Structure 1
Amino acid sequence: MTTIEFKNLTFGFDTQASYLFDQTRLVLQSEWQLGLVGRNGRGKTTLLRLLMGDYHYKGKIEHQLDFIYFPQKVTDKTKLTYDVLQDLSHFELWKIEKEITLLNMNLDSLWRPFESLSGGEQTKILLALLFVDDQHYPLIDEPTNHLDATSRQQVARYLHDKQQGFIVVSHDQLFIDQVVDHVLAIEKSQLVLYQSDFSTYLEQKQQRDQFESAQNEKLKKEITRLKQTAVQKAEWSRGRERDKLGSPNQPGSGAIFDTGAIGARSARMMKRSQTMMKRMRQQANEKAQLLKDVEYVKSLHMNVKPSHRQKILTVEHLQLSYNNQPLFDPISFEIQKGQRLAIQGSNGSGKSSIIQYLFDAFHGEATGITSRLQGLAVSYLSQDYDNNQGTLREFADQHALNYSDFLNNLWQLGVERQVFQNRIEDMSMGQRKRVALAQSLVTPAELFIWDEPLNYLDIFNQQQLEAVIQKIQPTMLIIEHDRHFLKNVATKTLTLSLNNGK
């Protein structure tokens, strides 16, 4: 039996005011199928990178394992997919073909440029390479990003049946429940280990949060009472001091026992009020420590541009193809003001290609007719935000964003204030995704086009998006694999298919 042991692990980035991990002590068994969960920015990817030896830290991490990290970094996406994989690892062709087939992909994807694959296809190709390797301990970071529902089930079954342990990071509750037997939660102030699935962890955490919140309400009432009493007593003692000194119209008697008695009572009451105030502050601080792990879902701001126009976008008999090979059967749809169209389909079916076509960025063949409003204000949330760089101020100026609204959305999405000082390219993927999301939310628009908005977002962020969309009722075109999310926000659905197969 092999262990991964953290001994007094201490680590934080230079740009952060506090440590991500401070004197952390933890022992993990290598045969566990471990789910690593927690809100964005809490250090999940950082913990995996520490295991990989990518950062310097204080303390010790002891193990006898060779780790492999997913997703592997692709440096040249213009290469053929086969060459990209050869750059990352050595493998026998039949083995990678077997894994690609198990992941429900065509073998010809190996001989296409990597950049021509959809986000989901790229994910599955890199997973296939991970699955070929049986000599390393897998550290799997967000494997469900870009994957359709069928592919998520395929990956879940593979991991569930795997005969070795691994650590997997994911915000997909159903996926985590299917593949793990232990959960390690990174909360605001501690690491909590559970021998259970994600649903059990969430249930226990919700019960703990409810108890702490109830205790908080009780203490708030007590603090209010103490504060009022302290103020009253302080005012009484000041009044007695004025009585002792007298006033120009009614001077004090001057009797020694009067001033002495009043002064003594005044001093006692002042001391008692100060004691009460000190007690109040102490209890408030204790409660702040008690509530440090309670999570709250905060409201977001969405900048919908007022419009009197009803018909926003019309598409008739659209079909997109590469090299005369159609991606899907001809489609027609219309989006009117206040409607939210969800486009669904398997990985590689052409969902993102439709968005590229609408922005005149599709490089294949297209047939059909599209009618859109002149001067239509569009806010676009892309899958790819690697080019977002610079400080938050520079980014906001570059995109003409209201800086205050932009930062407020970031804060509400759970980005800590100290992260505001970081450059975007130095942030975690979850933080960078929330920068892109905050940008889209505050961009004034008549139509919001979101391509897989939930990638890298935690369950609290998903609830926030559902709440703001249900409240504001914006006009949207959404590509997303999460059926629960679409059920709560979409008003109509279009599913792509190709009758002659792909």
Structure 2
Amino acid sequence: MSLINVTNLTFAYEGSYDNIFENVSFQIDTDWKLGFTGRNGRGKTTFMNLLLGRYEYSGNISASVTFEYFPYEVKEQENFTIDIIREISPNSMDWEIMKELSQLDVEDDVFYRQFYTLSKGEQTKVLLAAMFLKENAFLLIDEPTNHLDTEARKKLSSYLNRKKGFILVSHDRAFLDNCVDHILAINKTNIEIQKGNFSSWWENKELQDGFELAENEKLKKDINRLSAAAKRTSSWSDSVESSKYATTNSGSKIDRGYVGHKAAKMMKRSKNIESRQQNMIEEKSKLLKNIESNERLKISPLKFHDSKLVELRDISICYDDRVVCEGINFSVEQGERVALQGKNGSGKSSILKLILGEDIPFEGTLVKNNQLVISYVSQDTSDLHGSLSEYAYKYSIDESLFKSILRKLDFSREQFEKNIQDFSGGQKKKVLIARSLCERAHLYIWDEPLNFIDVISCMQIEKLLIEYEPTILFVEHDSAFCENVATKVVRL
């Protein structure tokens, strides 16, 4: 056991006026299984890069371990997998490698396959196993679940639960709960560490937020009372001060010295109340420093004239004589939230694209009305570029509504001025989802919409779908989301 000490860490990107971190100090035990959470764009990946020494910063980071970052970049993907493992962990024996991979249900035959022929899930497992074999390594694991199906996530979560000495960024609540014993959270104004898993941290956060909101309500009442008192006192002192120059009914002059002294006392009292008011206002601003924006999202789905929107009968999809899936039978009824589930490579995305009308080679019967309006969220964000205004114009959506939704998903106004290409992975996915929420459609088709998206935003989207009940067909490997949202599950 050793400690990673972070002292007075301050960092801002070159050309930026805003600090990502400012005088941050905390300690991490290298035996911890540390879950790392925070809204998109708060600096989770930035902090990992600071640990790796990739940016200059002020303050101090001291550690007696070597930091290793996942995803590991494999430059020679034509090499055999065993050679890549040995490159990462040259001192590991073959039996150690085989034992490590067996814990992840990776077959021995991957050793002598070229790395690029492995599935994304296999690549993830191989690289993580190789990195955990390194001596004196503290792993910085950045969103390992994005290319894994539900079963692979469960297996990886169980594997990590048997390990220690890592920081894990993931937005999958069930995944985090199963394999971490501490939470490192980037809040609005600070970084905090708590013992426990994500659910216990979230429960504590909700309790703290509730306390702060209740205190804020009491504080606002006090401020309103003090404001009214200060206004009355100021008005009285002004009235008394002006009366110095008046005369009595008998025509004699007012004792200006006495009246002036009285007015000065009242003015002083007014200033004291005003000072107390300002102190309370400052206290109020401190109180609400870490309450996250979790505003309700809205959607306006269209009603279709038929209860059945889509039907697939005995559908088979083949690519170059390779059968991807066959014997697929299901329908999507109005108001249903259908989760399409299956292992990677089982044809989920192909089925979505077939329904969208793309040129997918298939056999069987697809029943879909030509008047059906569909809104689609793709897995891929690589073609996003330009400004948010240009994007809204391109898709003929209301720009004000589009940006309002992004604000509710924790976009700052400064973000609106940036090029979408410069957004984080989670922010890009939010652009796609916000656009879809702006579109009035009979059917919403979302392909892995939660990849890279922070947990609080996932919860907002979850509440939206449950409250407004749009007809949606979606692929998503986040088990908590699927369990809470889906009204029907189709397994391939």
For this structure pair, what is the TM-score category when the shorter chain's length is used for normalisation?
Answer: 0.7 to 0.9
Please give the alpha-carbon distance, in whole angstroms, between the structure 2 residues aligned to 1:320 and 1:174.
Answer: 32
Please give the alpha-carbon distance, in whole angstroms, between the structure 1 residues aligned to 2:383 and 2:72.
Answer: 19
Q: Deviations over 1:447-486 (max 9, x none)?
A: 2111122222233212211222233222211111234323
After superposition, where does 1:66-105 map in structure 2 within 5 Å?
Answer: 66-73=66-73, 86=84, 103-104=104-105
Q: Partner of 1:51 in structure 2?
A: 51
Paired residue secondary structure (2:326):
coil
* Distance change >3 Å, CA 129–CA 238, structure 1 → 2: same
Please give the alpha-carbon distance, in whole angstroms, between the structure 2 residues aligned to 1:389 and 1:50.
Answer: 27
The answer (yes or no) to whether the contact 1:17–1:418 under 8 Å persists in 2 is: no
The answer (yes or no) to whether the contact 1:380–1:450 under 8 Å persists in 2 is: yes
Q: Partner of 1:500 in structure 2?
A: none
Please give the alpha-carbon distance, in whole angstroms, between the structure 2 residues aligned to 1:176 and 1:429.
Answer: 19
Amino acid at match of 2:6: F
Paired residue secondary structure (1:436):
helix
Q: Partner of 1:499 in structure 2?
A: none
* Distance change >3 Å, CA 90–CA 273, structure 1 → 2: closer
* Distance change >3 Å, CA 94–CA 354, structure 1 → 2: farther
Pair 1:396 & 2:417 matched:
no
Please give the alpha-carbon distance, in whole angstroms, between the structure 2 residues aligned to 1:180 and 1:22.
Answer: 27
After superposition, where does 1:117-128 map in structure 2 within 5 Å?
Answer: 121-128=119-126
After superposition, where does 1:244-283 map in structure 2 within 5 Å?
Answer: 255-257=252-254, 264-283=261-280
Q: Partner of 2:201 in structure 1?
A: 201
Amino acid at match of 2:30: S
Q: Partner of 1:356 in structure 2?
A: 353
Q: Partner of 2:127 in structure 1?
A: 129
* 316, 320, 323: which one aligns with 2:317: 320
Amino acid at match of 2:186: I
Q: Partner of 2:285 in structure 1?
A: 288
Please give the alpha-carbon distance, in whole angstroms, between the structure 1 residues aligned to 2:359 and 2:210.
Answer: 50
Paired residue secondary structure (2:376):
strand
* 481, 487, 490: which one aligns with 1:485: 481
Q: Deviations over 1:415-437 (max 9, x none)?
A: 22333333222222222222222
The answer (yes or no) to whether the contact 2:82–2:112 under 8 Å persists in 1 is: no
The answer (yes or no) to whether the contact 1:378–1:449 under 8 Å persists in 2 is: yes
Q: Partner of 1:414 in structure 2?
A: 410
Please give the alpha-carbon distance, in whole angstroms, between the structure 2 residues aligned to 1:441 and 1:75.
Answer: 39
* Distance change >3 Å, CA 173–CA 487, structure 1 → 2: closer
Please give the alpha-carbon distance, in whole angstroms, between the structure 1 residues aligned to 2:128 and 2:14.
Answer: 32
After superposition, where does 1:428-443 map in structure 2 within 5 Å?
Answer: 428-443=424-439
* Distance change >3 Å, CA 445–CA 17, structure 1 → 2: farther
Q: Cα offset for 1:355?
A: 1.6
Paired residue secondary structure (2:188):
coil
The answer (yes or no) to whether the contact 1:16–1:419 under 8 Å persists in 2 is: no
Amino acid at match of 2:385: Q
Which stretch of structure 1 is more off in the superposition, 478-487 or 256-265?
256-265
Amino acid at match of 2:12: G
Q: Partner of 1:331 in structure 2?
A: 328
Q: Cα offset for 1:298?
A: 0.5
Amino acid at match of 2:478: D
Q: Cα offset for 1:112?
A: 8.8
Please give the alpha-carbon distance, in whole angstroms, between the structure 2 residues aligned to 1:88 and 1:43.
Answer: 32
After superposition, where does 1:231-246 map in structure 2 within 5 Å?
Answer: 231-240=231-240
The answer (yes or no) to whether the contact 2:8–2:25 under 8 Å persists in 1 is: yes
Amino acid at match of 2:156: V
* Distance change >3 Å, CA 339–CA 387, structure 1 → 2: same
After superposition, where does 1:356-395 map in structure 2 within 5 Å?
Answer: 356-361=353-358, 365-395=361-391
Q: Cα offset for 1:147?
A: 2.5
Amino acid at match of 2:159: Y
Q: Which runs of 5+ in 1 are unaligned?
A: 497-502
Q: Cα offset for 1:200?
A: 2.8
Please give the alpha-carbon distance, in whole angstroms, between the structure 1 residues aligned to 2:479 and 2:169.
Answer: 20
Q: Partner of 1:142 in structure 2?
A: 143
Please give the alpha-carbon distance, in whole angstroms, between the structure 2 residues aligned to 1:391 and 1:75.
Answer: 32
Q: Cα offset for 1:50?
A: 1.4
The answer (yes or no) to whether the contact 2:447–2:476 under 8 Å persists in 1 is: yes
* Distance change >3 Å, CA 55–CA 402, structure 1 → 2: farther
Q: Cα offset for 1:227?
A: 1.8
The answer (yes or no) to whether the contact 1:123–1:143 under 8 Å persists in 2 is: no
Q: Deviations over 1:384-426 (max 9, x none)?
A: 1122122322332333332211211111011223333332222
Q: Cα offset for 1:299?
A: 1.4
Amino acid at match of 2:477: H
Please give the alpha-carbon distance, in whole angstroms, between the structure 1 residues aligned to 2:364 and 2:347.
Answer: 15
Paired residue secondary structure (2:312):
strand
Please give the alpha-carbon distance, in whole angstroms, between the structure 2 residues aligned to 1:392 and 1:460.
Answer: 22
Q: Cα offset for 1:57?
A: 1.7
TM-score (norm. length: structure 1):
0.84
Amino acid at match of 1:404: S
The answer (yes or no) to whether the contact 1:244–1:252 under 8 Å persists in 2 is: no
* 462, 469, 473: which one aligns with 2:465: 469
Q: Deviations over 1:328-358 (max 9, x none)?
A: 3312222233332221122222111212223
Please give the alpha-carbon distance, in whole angstroms, between the structure 2 residues aligned to 1:202 and 1:326.
Answer: 44
* Distance change >3 Å, CA 262–CA 330, structure 1 → 2: farther
The answer (yes or no) to whether the contact 1:15–1:422 under 8 Å persists in 2 is: no
Amino acid at match of 1:366: F
Pair 1:151 & 2:149 matched:
no
Amino acid at match of 2:297: L
The answer (yes or no) to whether the contact 1:173–1:199 under 8 Å persists in 2 is: yes
Please give the alpha-carbon distance, in whole angstroms, between the structure 2 residues aligned to 1:467 and 1:60.
Answer: 41
Q: Deviations over 1:231-266 (max 9, x none)?
A: 3333444455566667xxx99876432666555544
Q: Which runs of 5+ in 2 are unaligned?
A: none
Q: How many residues align?
A: 485
The answer (yes or no) to whether the contact 1:245–1:252 under 8 Å persists in 2 is: no
Pair 1:161 & 2:158 matched:
no
The answer (yes or no) to whether the contact 1:72–1:126 under 8 Å persists in 2 is: no
Q: Partner of 2:18 in structure 1?
A: 18
Q: Deviations over 1:29-84 (max 9, x none)?
A: 323222222222221111111122222222232234333322235789xx769689
